[in-house]
Structure 1
Amino acid sequence: MMDFEDFGGALTDKPLSQAEKAAAVLLAMGKNVAGKLLKFFTQAELQAIIAAAQTLRTIPPNELAQLVNEFEDLFTEGAGLMDNAKVIESILEAGLTPEEVDSLLGRRMAFQSYEESIWDRLQEADPDFIATFLTREHPQTVAYILSMLPSVFGAKVLLKLPDGQRADIMNRTVNLKNVNPKAAQIIENKVVDLITEIEREKNSVGPMKVAELMNELTKPDVDTLLNSLEEISQDAVAKVRPKIFLFEDILLMPQRSRVLLLNDISGEVLTMALRTSSSQLRESVLSSISPRSRRMIESDLQVEMPGTNPREIAIARRAIAQEALRLAGSGQIILKDPEAQAEGAAA
């Protein structure tokens, strides 16, 4: 690490601070050389240099010569000290990544942030929902949107489109030319409206409250209630079902999320929750824990416990489901893998 103190003692005229001395030397030597030195400073030191460069006073050549010492051959009078802020920015760009420069200068890439807020946030939605939205749009618009979506999510949406439209949209996407900026802006405004609709639906109080109530019930009770609700309104079921997570839905979780969830669940709770469970669900849980824990739980499950209270099993399962909801709420796990959801619903 290069310390500010390495630049010597106070000079003539108004004494420069250590950060000002560092800024003066960097400005004098040019961005290519100065950029190579940046890695020897801490981030706090770089921020201090930037601040000093923006208010740096005029430095006479003789005073600057004392600062640069061994770099005096690189110094020429008037070496960019008239526009210190721009010069120090160019030096930073020569030695640091764009993200590091933005962080130090306190600026954000607004356009990039905007793009991410549209296309990356859109992939949080249900592919079926997005496909339904796209079927109402012109095929060329659909092609543009698919070209902008993250590849994995875009592929899922493509498969949800009607068979008769899929080939045409793929052909349009392959042959997509540079889109007129005004047309792109109109499409992106529609996507922003769609995201707003998705988020409004996601945060709707009614479906969330019903889902919270059902999350306290057993799977047979939930299935009965959903079937009754479906007779009245399939739309209401479509809003509520994605917010419901029961112990049995562990089958629908991505493996990595399942491992993270079960890692901190005690063996006693897992053993109780797995009693009377299906062999498929049992294997899904046991394959996500350590071999040692698996052996212990399998040994406990082999012991018949005719006196086990079904309520104790329900409590254990609910505890695991609630922990899954908590972890999902903090963004640590994914509750339902879209590819496994259809298979799990049919099981």
Structure 2
Amino acid sequence: MMDFDDFGGSAIGKPLSQADKAAAVLLAMGKGIAGKLLKYFTQAELQMIISSAQTLRAIPPDELNELVNEFEDLFTEGTGLMDNAKAIEEILEEGLTPEEVDGLLGRRAAFQAFEASIWDRLQDADPDFIANYLLREHPQTVAYILSMLPSSFGAKVLLKLPDSRRADIMNRTVNLKNINPKASQIIENRIQELIAVIDADKNSTGTAKVAELMNELEKPQVDTLLESLETISKVSASKVRPKIFLFEDLLAMPQRSRVILLNDISGDILTMALRGASGEIKECVLASISPRSRRMIESDLASGTAGVNPREIAIARRAVAQEAIRLANGGQIQLKEAPESAENGEEQAA
């Protein structure tokens, strides 16, 4: 640790504090030498030096010589200390890491505030959820929101919107003009409310836990439980329902996602999962796998379910559903088609 009291000498003009003297000497030394001395200061002392350097008055050479006369040959008549804030920053950068410099100068806090803007925070949400929310908004509002989102996330949201609305929204976004500040504030206030809902849902482990439990059950049991929950709280049921995915929900999965999923699952598991299944879901699954695999599974299914343990069928179906959830969480597939709930007539009315 370097003791500020080591810097002595009489001061000309406004008296310099010990931190002022330390800042003056470091500034006079230049980046190379001063940077090597920084490690001898504590964090608190560095903060004091930075604060002093940013408000340090101009110091004439003769006054500076009284503080560091051993360096008198480095200074010439008329030289003073100017742009102290910039100089001390350069000295810090010479001897400290970028993260340490940012922390000392308070730049990290400002950067974090930028990072935490509502549009950046929104990209942590599920693109499907944001797309569903936007479907309730006027196309012009949607265009503005998309223009504000980070590009990578905005592209994901755009692809989740129905084809019937996507072209119009893209056109509005391309031709978007300066929006009225009052309108912009209203939209951003609503986005803040949306973020609050998303954050609250993320922090609630109950919804995920209930969904996990239901994903271990058979469809009739899940339907009964959801109906029971809905009689108590429709809001709770609406939170749990989207997180549930059962083997039968393969029917609602986009074909491309279904192909990716089913070609990642062994034929034995698929065969067992399809035993006793409806003709609709059998065809749905078999149409998504290779012709060779289809022939083999159809041949095995011809033997029926005689002698097959129902528990083994349930385990196979859960294995398929759980793999679907895993791939969906990794962003590799979609569990459901993008909603087409908004009709053209509704859009015109909006």
Call closer, same or farther: CA 1:54–1:121 in 2, change over 3 Å: closer
Q: Residue in 2 aligned with 1:79?
A: 81
Name 2:133's counterpart in structure 1. 133
Which residue is 1:225 aligned to?
A: 221
Q: Distance in 2 between matches of 1:101 and 1:131?
A: 40
Shift of 1:48: 3.1
Correspondence for 1:63? 66
Task: State the SS of the aligned residue for 1:60.
Answer: helix
Relative distance call for 1:163 and 1:218 in structure 2 (3 A) is closer
Q: In 1, are the aligned partners of 2:10 and 2:66 still within 8 Å (CA)?
A: no
Shift of 1:190: 1.5
Q: Does 1:186 align with 2:186?
A: yes
What CA distance in whole angstroms lies between the structure 2 residues aligned with 1:119 and 1:195? 10
Shift of 1:280: 12
Of structures 1 and 2, the larger Rg is shown by 2
Counterpart of 2:31 in structure 1 is: 34
* C-alpha distance in 2 between matches for 1:241 and 1:157: 21
Residue-by-residue CA offset, 1:15-59 (whole Å, 9 max, x unaligned): 999987653233236xxx538964884496676344135458978
Q: How far did 1:104 drift?
A: 1.0
Letter in 2 for 1:60: E
**Residue identity matched to 2:132:** T
**Partners of 2:35 and 2:95 within 8 A in 1:** yes
> CA offset at residue 192 of structure 1?
0.5
Aligned to 1:52: 49
Distance 1:184 1:99 in 2: 35
Please report how far the alpha carbon of residue 142 of structure 1 lies from its aligned counterpart in structure 2 after TM superposition.
1.4
Show the counterpart of 1:270: none
Aligned length: 266
Partner of 2:163: 163
Q: Could you tell me which runs of 5 or more consecutive residues in structure 2 were left unpaired when the two chains were aligned.
A: 247-252, 254-265, 274-310, 338-350
Please give the TM-score of this superposition, normalised by the length of structure 1: 0.53
Residue aligning to 1:104: 104
Provide the rounded CA distance (Å) in 1 between the counterparts of 2:209 and 2:191.
Answer: 30
Q: How does 1:173-212 map to 2 (within 5 A)?
A: 173-203=173-203, 208=206, 211-212=208-209
Length-normalised TM-score, structure 2: 0.53
- Distance in 1, matches of 2:36 and 2:334, equals 49
Name the CA distance, whole Å, in 1 between partners of 2:153 and 2:40.
Answer: 37
Alpha-carbon deviation of 1:244?
6.0
Rounded to whole Å, the distance in 2 between the matches of 1:198 and 1:121 is: 10
Q: Distance in 2 between matches of 1:69 and 1:44?
A: 24
For 2:142, the equivalent position in structure 1 comes to 142
State how far apart, in whole Å, the 1-side matches of 2:94 and 2:178 are.
31
Using the aligned pairs only, state the percent identity: 50
- Give the unaligned 5+ runs of structure 1: 247-251, 253-273, 282-309, 322-332
Root-mean-square deviation (CA, aligned residues, Å) is: 5.6
CA distance in 1, matches of 2:2, 2:172: 59
Partner of 2:172: 172
Aligned residue in 2 for 1:325: none
Q: 1:127 touches 1:157 (CA, 8 Å); kept in 2?
A: yes
Indicate if the aligned counterparts of 2:128 and 2:160 stay in contact, CA closer than 8 A: yes
8 A contact 2:32–2:94 mirrored in 1 = yes
The answer for the alignment partner of 1:297 in structure 2 is none
Match status 1:336 vs 2:329: yes
C-alpha deviation, 1:121, in angstroms = 2.4
AA paired with 1:51? Answer: M
Secondary structure at the aligned position of 2:75 is classed as helix
SS of residue in 1 equivalent to 2:176: coil
Distance 1:223 1:137, change over 3 A: same
Query: 2: distance between equivalents of 1:46 and 1:226?
Result: 58
Q: Offset of 1:191 from its aligned partner?
A: 0.7
CA contact (8 A) 1:134 1:142 kept: yes
